[in-house]
């Protein structure tokens, strides 16, 4: 649904502030039951009086200026409960995840790609299909990154938000090419197509005529800010395209990215925009976990219960997920994009990875890390008053809290904040294997304008439309380039002279292609920076009229401008300006028809002296005729 803008006034602001106040009060207040023993009558209740007023205040109409989406990979209800029990006790709460006032559940199934079941539900999804669902609104097959079941690319929230002028960010504790961060920036059939060396890229590889690997497409998508792991893939060398033979790191630097790899470098970053986007890669692969591993074993829950220990390999707290989230918000919350707001996706990645490994302490620590990031997002949203925060997961997972040690499955015992033992079991793979995802529905919770859309039972694809509608995004991105124009530094030049063509209004595109004719010369690709791009090139040596055709790679919008190559010493012309007398530089998409006004303007300038001279001759002739008539009178 679309939101109207009439609610931006004082009443709406009051409701937002009231909601923030109630949320803050809820997060610090302690129900009377908390002072009693949980075994007493009412001793375990969580409600502290009537919640109707708080619930009403939490429902705030959209639109929102900003959206922050936080994803706990593999964070099903069981994983949330395991972490809460361990860290805060059974009667406690996670200060971030449990604080969001509007809560629902959503379904997560993927669909089959081919065969007799093509398009039908696949009940247990992977992170690629689920991430594609919320990032594009399209269900797809397991392994697919933001393409439909026929392999057609689907526009992502980061791509759409960027085209609409919002700032964008992508943060993860995984390799930045991993499925969840990848779904916002790439379109491939195989999620393992990390870099140019990946054998699984197939026809998605640049060398095969595709869009390239995930890492290469990430550079093309050009989010304002990207933070995570995965530097290894950027050390690979491009196999095709303009940067063939160069590493992706060298390519990123050549394209204006700010490259950082440590906390000091991140602390020194003061801007993140399209001119100087930030690419921070802090580890070769995934981030180390918060807690050291405690791998489950057969019969393990019968052993002595353990307490999770800090992981000595963990990155410093200045690179924790909370710190990365806070830094990302500070860099995106600026008014240098016309105060249009931002979209930020944040992933706590290794809840899933440690669940796969049957590592209870590992998954607990990563859930706590995500909760701290949620707290940072909520703190900003409550102060800002115009930010929608959504917290959810991509798919459910294996871990279960059990009463007794399973005889054949893997298990471990933990001492919780209550001082009692919690047994956690993993029963979908043998020791050394990878525990499986499960197909249950998931919690989704929200705070802020438009958050009521998550209430009740929805589907993962609904989340895409909830966020796009809250931000009032125009999803027809091609239309955002419909008014594109171009201008030349001069319309008449000598053979081989330097010319610059400047394009503007290509908001719906991320790259442009350019070709000079009549002898076709490919000028290559340029990144579109806030709707603009420039090419500087040498004019052809053949005299005559030539054209430059600029084409948006995403929108297919074509703009054609003409220029004349004249012999040395010929008259020069001033630069063209869009809509000016020397030529408007605009063309119709796909028409192949150049605007002639620039050439006509030039012709008029050249012919004008001859018109003046002709006028003088005509005047002289009239005078002679009159004098002759007087002599014969």
Distances (CA, A) of 77 to 74, 109, 123, 442: 10, 16, 17, 7
Inter-residue contact 346 to 131 (CB < 8 Å): no
HEC string of 362-428? HHHHHHHHHHHHHHHHHHHHHHHCCEEEEEEECCECCCEEECCCCCCCEEEEEECCCCCEEEEEECC
Helix (H/G/I), strand (E/B), else coil: 299: coil
The pLDDT tens digits for 420-452 are 999 999 999 999 999 999 999 999 999 999 999
Give me the pLDDT at residue 626, please. Answer: 41
d(CA 331, CA 623): 77
Inter-residue contact 212 to 268 (CB < 8 Å): no
Q: What are phi and psi of 534, to 5 degrees?
A: -125, 145
Burial of 218-245, coded b for 16+ CB within 10 Å and e otherwise, reads bbbbbbbbbbbbbbbbbebebbbbebee
d(CA 389, CA 37): 34
Instruction: List the chain residues with pLDDT less than 70.
Output: 1-35, 569-633
CB neighbours of 399 closer than 8 A, spacing ≥ 6? 78, 79, 82, 355, 358, 360, 363, 424, 425, 426, 435
Beta strands in 223-277 (DSSP E): 225-229, 258-260
Give me the pLDDT at residue 24, please. Answer: 55
Q: Is 579 left (phi over 0), alpha (psi -120 to 50) or beta?
A: left
Give me the pLDDT at residue 519, please. Answer: 81
Per the structure block, which two tokens stand in for 543?
A: 């005299």
Give me the residues paired with residue 71 across strands. Answer: 347, 392
d(CA 386, CA 258): 29
Inter-residue contact 401 to 345 (CB < 8 Å): no
Inter-residue contact 481 to 528 (CB < 8 Å): no
Give me the pLDDT at residue 567, please. Answer: 83
Which of 174, 163, 225, 38 lies closest to 471 in space, CA to CA? 163
Relative to beta strand 521-527, strand 533-538 is unpaired
Per the structure block, which two tokens stand in for 530?
A: 């806030």
Give me the pLDDT at residue 629, please. Answer: 41
Give me the pLDDT at residue 18, please. Answer: 59
Give me the pLDDT at residue 35, please. Answer: 57
CB neighbours of 144 closer than 8 A, spacing ≥ 6? 113, 128, 129, 132, 151, 188, 189, 191
Q: State whether the Cα torsion 278-348-367-31 is positive or negative.
A: positive
The residue count of the chain comes to 633
Catalytic residues: 127
CB neighbours of 22 closer than 8 A, spacing ≥ 6? 53, 54, 57, 58, 101
pTM of the model: 0.88
Relative to beta strand 342-348, strand 167-175 is parallel
The pLDDT tens digits for 161-181 are 999 999 999 999 999 999 999
d(CA 566, CA 575): 16
Give me the pLDDT at residue 337, please. Answer: 82
Measured between alpha carbons, how far apart are the two ends of the chain, in Å? 90
Inter-residue contact 471 to 164 (CB < 8 Å): yes
Q: Angle at Cα 359 formed by Cα 356 and Cα 363, nearest 5°?
A: 85
d(CA 63, CA 453): 12
């Amino acid at each position: 649904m679309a939101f109207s803008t009439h609610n931006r006034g004082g009443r709406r602001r009051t409701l937002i502030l009231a909601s923030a106040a109630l949320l803050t009060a809820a997060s610090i207040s302690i129900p009377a039951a908390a002072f009693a023993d949980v075994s007493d009558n009412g001793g375990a209740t969580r409600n502290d009086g009537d919640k109707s007023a708080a619930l009403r205040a939490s429902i705030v109409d959209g639109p929102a200026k900003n959206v922050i989406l936080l994803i706990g990979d593999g964070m099903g209800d069981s994983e949330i409960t395991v972490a809460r029990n361990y860290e805060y006790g059974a009667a406690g709460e996670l200060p971030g995840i449990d604080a969001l006032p509007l809560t629902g559940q959503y379904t997560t199934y993927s669909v089959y790609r081919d065969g007799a079941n093509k398009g039908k539900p696949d009940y247990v999804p992977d992170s690629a299909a689920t991430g594609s669902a919320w990032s594009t609104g399209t269900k797809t097959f397991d392994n697919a990154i933001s393409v439909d079941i026929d392999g057609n690319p689907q526009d992502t929230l980061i791509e759409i938000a960027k085209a609409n002028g919002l700032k964008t960010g992508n943060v993860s504790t995984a390799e930045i090419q991993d499925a969840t961060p990848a779904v916002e920036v790439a379109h491939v059939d195989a999620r393992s197509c990390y870099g140019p060396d990946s054998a699984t890229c197939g026809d998605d590889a640049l060398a095969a005529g595709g869009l390239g690997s995930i890492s290469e497409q990430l550079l093309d998508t050009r989010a304002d800010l990207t933070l995570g792991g995965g530097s290894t893939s950027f050390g690979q060398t491009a196999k095709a395209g303009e940067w063939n033979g160069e590493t992706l790191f060298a390519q990123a630097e050549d394209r204006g990215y700010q490259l950082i790899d440590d906390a000091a470098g991140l602390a020194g970053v003061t801007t993140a925009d399209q001119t100087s986007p930030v690419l921070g890669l802090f580890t070769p692969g995934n981030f180390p976990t918060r807690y050291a591993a405690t791998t489950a074993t057969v019969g393990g829950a019968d052993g002595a219960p353990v307490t999770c220990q800090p992981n000595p390999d963990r990155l410093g707290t200045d690179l924790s997920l909370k710190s990365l989230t806070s830094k990302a918000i500070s860099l995106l919350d600026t008014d240098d994009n016309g105060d249009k707001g931002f979209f930020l996706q944040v992933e706590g990645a290794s809840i899933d990875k440690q669940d796969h490994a049957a590592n209870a302490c590992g998954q607990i620590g990563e859930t706590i890390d995500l909760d701290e990031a949620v707290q940072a997002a909520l703190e900003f949203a409550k102060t800002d008053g115009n930010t929608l925060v959504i917290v959810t997961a991509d798919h459910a997972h294996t871990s279960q809290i059990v009463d007794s040690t399973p005889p054949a499955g893997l298990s471990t015992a933990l001492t919780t904040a209550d001082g009692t033992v919690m047994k956690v079991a993993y029963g979908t793979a043998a020791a050394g294997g990878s525990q499986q995802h499960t197909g249950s529905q998931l919690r989704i919770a929200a705070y802020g304008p438009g958050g009521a859309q998550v209430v009740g039972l929805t589907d993962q694809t609904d989340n895409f439309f909830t966020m796009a509608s809250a931000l009032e995004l125009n999803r027809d991105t091609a239309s955002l380039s419909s008014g594109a124009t171009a201008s030349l530094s001069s319309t008449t030049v000598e053979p081989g002279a330097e010319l610059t063509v400047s394009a503007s209004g290509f908001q719906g595109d991320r790259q442009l292609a350019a070709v000079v004719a009549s002898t076709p010369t490919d000028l290559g690709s340029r990144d579109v920076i806030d709707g603009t791009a420039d090419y500087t090139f040498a004019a052809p040596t053949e005299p005559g009229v030539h054209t430059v055709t600029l084409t948006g790679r995403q929108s297919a919008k074509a703009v054609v401008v003409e220029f004349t190559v004249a012999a040395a010493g010929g008259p020069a012309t001033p630069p063209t300006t869009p809509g000016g007398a020397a030529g408007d530089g605009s063309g119709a998409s796909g028409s192949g028809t150049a605007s002639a006004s620039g050439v006509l303007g030039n012709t008029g300038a050249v012919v004008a002296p001859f018109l003046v001279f002709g006028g003088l001759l005509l005047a002289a002739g009239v005078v002679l005729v009159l004098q002759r008539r007087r002599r014969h009178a």
